[in-house]
Structure 1
């Protein structure tokens, strides 16, 4: 299984830091320590850590945490996601690079709905973690009624920092339970980055994930689809007619996930990205509840 964490983009290419000639010996020493600890992208990580540390003592503390196995994003306090620098606190699920594919799908659907209705869409980021998906969705669309929620208190505190800039609200609780009742039947785009690792495979995850991220954000039950089933069963009550639910899954899980969507009355389709090794199942609430599934969805896409 590949690492769940995004590899840092080349800092030199993005212009996010500069290393002077006088810093090169220190940088070489940092790279050596990181390599010895097993960091695959040691040079890029060294540059980011050096840029983040105002003093040598601060740098030593950051290196100590990273070489002890803490996720780079927890050490830095942020992650790049969807063109944003998203705050990520210790103990909070780190947004994955592959989840940017889910974001891209949500943005495309949101733009289509906004263009069709001429209004700002209503979006909910369920199982929001740091709030990265919701914050990036709002930034891309330029105007969203945004709500987000998570069951983990640390995630909620972190998400509130990221979502505030978009004028959104974050709630603490289990799935839909803490959301305002007035959102029922109004949600245009519902993203749910649910845990989908089967319980017996959690132990195969990289140590920085299984030791430093909450288990509730990783463990999806016996087949990895327990939380997905709960979300899908309740989603039709919350989605607006023609609204969309987007959930990330593993490639092997997609057929069962689609069947779950169908049983809940949603019109499913699967989108995949070979580049990001990402699979997203998208379910649309029919605008005509009497029309059977298995024909054509509201976007003109043939469904199984």
Structure 2
């Protein structure tokens, strides 16, 4: 089958399966296929609902291809806003911690934007840690498995310049409304934020003052509806807090820092 015919055939199949960007996805799958049988397999997986990024093994995030393996949370386009806001307050060579790192794409992308940083990433999920190492270690960073700050080397206490946190913030009762791609192919621990969606954020906010350096920053991705409560969590921990948003990306962050700034 000629390449153009392949693309048309694959795009039609994907469109019928409900893929909104069928033509673009068809081109990516064709480019990634090593044989016609491999292409058929990938198309079949996509039709069954597997995220395109898990099939390809990578995601385009902040202009770089980041490794994303099956069973690992796929970085969302809106999270690029967190990275770009962090780049405004971070300095090259600074100490950066990516909590609930998933694939490690957030910290890795910030490292790329800064040119260099002392990068640490942590996640409780061993699958995420294994994937994150493929994105973080080539950039000179280190990845640890464990629960939030408990995973980090103690010598980082009081000297972290930037904490990045895309902790799970979907309320448990809203999980069922998420797209099947997320519900069936991403780890629930990366999605479920508890009854009000703020369980992980509470702990991130509470621990932040002990780890931030003087003049440090913490950036937490949240939703527009939860942003007031997320900001209140940072203030309750002794930090200042401001809300930033990008309407085009449907992205909302709360940015905190020591009140003495």
TM-score for the superposition, normalised by structure 2: 0.98
CA RMSD in angstroms comes to 1.0
> Once the two structures are superposed, what CA deviation does each residue of 1:123-166 show, in whole Å capped at 9, x if it has no partner?
00000000000101111101100000001110000000100111
Number of the residue aligned with 1:205: 178
Deviations 1:157-205 (CA, angstroms, capped at 9, x unpaired): 0000100111000000110111000000000010010111010000000
Quote the residue 2:207 is aligned against: 234
1:189 maps to what in 2? 162
Dislocated runs of 4+, deviation >6 Å: none
Which position in structure 2 is the counterpart of 1:246? 219
State the partner residue of 2:2: 22
Aligned mates of 1:209, 1:131 — CA distance in 2: 18
Secondary structure, counterpart of 1:105 in structure 2: helix
Question: What does residue 14 of structure 1 align with?
Answer: none
Secondary structure at 1:203's aligned position in 2? helix
Match of 1:11 in 2: none
2:122 counterpart (142, 146, 149): 149
Q: 2:151 aligns with which of 178, 181, 185?
A: 178
SS at match of 1:79: strand
SS at 2:40 equivalent: helix
**CA separation in 1, counterparts of 2:72 and 2:198?**
21
Secondary structure at the residue paired with 1:252?
coil
**Superposed, which structure 2 residues align to 1:1-304 within 5 Å?**
22-111=2-91, 120-286=93-259, 288=260, 298=261
Count of matched residue positions in the alignment of Structure 1 and Structure 2:
261
User: What residue ranges of structure 2 are gaps of 5+ in the alignment?
Assistant: none
Work out the CA distance in 1 between the residues paired with 2:258 and 2:57: 38
Unaligned 5+ segments in structure 1 are 1-20, 115-119, 289-297, 299-304
Secondary structure of the residue aligned to 1:233 is: helix
Q: Highest Rg: 1 or 2? A: 1
The CA deviation at 1:244 is 0.5
Deviations 1:111-131 (A, max 9, x none): 3xx5xxxxx200000000000
